Amino acid sequence: MIEIDGSYGEGGGQIIRTALTLSAITQKPVRISGIRAGRPNPGLQMQHLTCAKAVRKVCRGSLEHAEKESTELIFNPGRIVGGKYDFNIGTAGSVTLVAQTLIPILLSASKKSALSITGGTHVMKSPGYDYFENVFIPAIRRFGADVDTSMLRTGYYPKGGGVIEVNVNPSELKGCTDWASEEIIRAIIRISGLPMSIAIREKKIFVQDDLYKVAIREDESYSVGNAVTAWKGLRGSYVIGEKGKRAEIVAKEALDAVKAENSDVDMHLADQLLIYAALAEGGTIYTTTKITNHMKTNMYIITKFIDRDILEESGRIKVV
């Protein structure tokens, strides 16, 4: 059984997700202790529990201590089974993080899978759905992952209720070194239950910079919300609107962040691609603007399960 210190490095939920994903794929049991020990609300929260129970369900494994606020989790994986699955986080927890936990597992199933995940589609501290669809999914397709996705309903904090569907076909992953992508900046502005003038003011920030590929989407959702996602190829940014935060600031933060990304992939995607690079046959190389603590923690967890060298130097990631 592989032992993981849940408080290592960045010490967040990514440790749980990566460890469970790789446990299922490698068929190595895992014990995670000290889960989120340094956080204001330590232990497992609903989003982490949904991920854990979802992984158990798709590979018929067994979980111990899978309870809210538990600081330990033991997982014994079973056989991965593709098929149709429906998961409801029950809060505005991130649906994209649940999807990112399950996709690598289901790529190695013997048949295709269809996921329906209910929760938050555009929430803090996780990839918003538009980033997931327009940046993350195209990036993992570079490895050969046959995945497509759609959003049926937008979900914001606090009620959530957003729904996404993800279709995953079994795929053999190959290493990637070609990350050439377009330089045109595109954006999606989402607004739910708030004045349309907010979205229009946000769009003006892009137009003033001679950027016109900006779509405004007015959605129905259980909670009011606003989100701005901008991207150029495989480099993206995502900012949530907040009460008291001017629309112009929300849009400018998103625009400035994507304009600052000049490497192969953005710093968040660089982290999210590590697991695919480690699972792929052959080597992978890409550059990114910043190596985050989140990414360093992810590197450590991955190498506990997979015997691959993950090398980093001056923003250049090499998996051999």
Q: What is the DSSP letter of 253?
A: H
Tell me, yes or no, if 294 is annotated catalytic: yes
| Tokens read off for 62 | 């067994």
Q: How far apart are CA 129 and CA 265, in angstroms?
A: 18
Q: Which of 48, 122, 268, 294 is catalytic?
A: 294
Residues of 185-219 as b/e, b for ≥16 C-beta within 10 angstroms?
A: bbbbbbbbeeeeebbebbbebbeeeebeebeeeeb
Give, in degrees to the nearest 5, the angle at Cα 178 between 300 and 187.
85
Beta-sheet strands, E only, within the chain = 2-5, 30-33, 62-64, 72-76, 84-88, 113-119, 146-153, 162-169, 186-192, 214-218, 225-232, 235-240, 284-287, 310-313, 316-319
Q: Please give the torsion angle defined by the CA atoms of residues 169, 173, 177 and 183, in that order, rounded to the nearest 10 degrees.
A: 10
Q: What is the DSSP letter of 309?
A: -
Contacts (Cβ under 8 Å, ≥6 apart) of 188: 130, 134, 214, 215, 217, 228, 229
| Burial tier of 309 (Cβ tally within 10 Å: 0-12, 13-18, 19+) | exposed
| Tokens read off for 59 | 């590979």
Q: Please give the torsion angle defined by the CA atoms of residues 204, 152, 125 and 39, in that order, rounded to the nearest 10 degrees.
A: 150
E strand or H helix that includes residue 280: none
Reference 277, options 265, 288, 285; nearest CA is 285
Q: How far apart are CA 301 and CA 228, in angstroms?
A: 31
Which residue numbers are catalytic?
A: 294
